Amino acid sequence: MDFFAVLSQLNDLPTTFTRNGAPYTQLMDSITGALSLFTLTEDATFTQVLNFTNAVNGWLDVWGLLLGVPRNQNESDVSYSPRIFGTVSAWVGTVPAIQFWLNLYAPGGVITENVGTVGYTLTFPPLMTTVQIENFLITLNRIRPAGVPFIAQQNGIGLYLGTDEFTGDGRVVGNYLTRLESPVGLIIPASTPNARPTIPTLYMTDPTLNPSLVQ
């Protein structure tokens, strides 16, 4: 209910209980202003908290915190909303599951099983930064099998225009300034986090979600 809906509800009285003009109208406006702070948040609760697809801004954070998927720094709603849904609904523990996660958040990445030994290797595309790879591996904790070791490496960029190598057969374009793959310098634990219930407190601290907090 917005301001005018609340006001019309309050004014729905017999004429013997109402007055024309000030100060009656001023008093009713004052009461309406206070009550509308609560009705607006109640409307937001029904439209955004009870329906994930309607959630935006802080209400989307409430969903994410409730499901244990906090928003990354400077992450927009456009990317955060599908990440929550994808994380919660993703299948886990298998090589296809990890490959699917790579396709979503590290396009061009590939997983290969280490045949003859335990574990697997993740190969990331060359243009991903170390920070991006680290953030990806944090989200992978919810997907990968616990306790199974893995190696993270990154493809080299490949051929460089203007470089060459000398083979004795003339000058040809080469890639001697880069390696085929290089290890990612990150310390990656073999464990994965246990699921834990979370209770978002954002509604109790954020005045944009709960205007009644505004003094």
| Selected residue with higher pLDDT from 125 and 138 | 125
Chain position carrying tokens 């309050």: 10
How many other C-beta atoms are found inside a 10 Å radius of the C-beta of residue 6? 21
Q: Edge-to-edge strands of the sheet including 120-124?
A: 110-113, 120-124, 150-155, 181-183
Mean pLDDT of 18-38: 79
Q: Rounded distance, CA 91 to CA 142, Å?
A: 10
Could you tell me what percentage of the chain is helix, strand and coil, using 3-state DSSP and rounding each to the nearest 5? 45, 10, 45
Contact criterion met (CB below 8 Å) for 185 and 177: no
Domain 92-183 has CATH 2.40.50: no
Q: Tell me the pLDDT of the chain averaged across its residues.
A: 76
Query: Is residue 162 very low, low, confident or very high in pLDDT (cuts 50, 70, 90)?
Result: very low
Q: What pLDDT, in 10s, does the model give residues 67-98?
A: 878 888 788 888 888 888 888 888 888 888 89
**What's residue 175's pLDDT?**
45
In this prediction, residue 166 has a pLDDT band, given cuts at 50, 70 and 90, of: very low
Give the three-class secondary structure for 48.
helix
Token pair 């509604």 is at which residue?
203
- pLDDT for 168-202, tens place per residue? 545 555 445 554 666 676 666 655 555 555 667 77
pTM: 0.51
User: How far is 132 from 174, CA to CA, in rounded Å?
Assistant: 28
Q: What confidence score (pLDDT) does residue 88 get?
A: 83
pLDDT value of position 134: 84
Q: Range(s) for CATH 3.30.300 in the chain?
A: 92-183
Work out the average pLDDT over 98-104: 89
| Rounded Cα distance, 96 and 111, in Å | 9
> SS3 for 133-186, per residue?
HHHHHHHHCCCCCCCCCEEEEEECCCCCCCCEEECCCCEEECCCCCCCEEECCC
How far is residue 127's CA from residue 124's CA, in Å, rounded to a whole number?
9
Amino acid at 144: R
**Which residue bears the tokens 């886990």?**
92
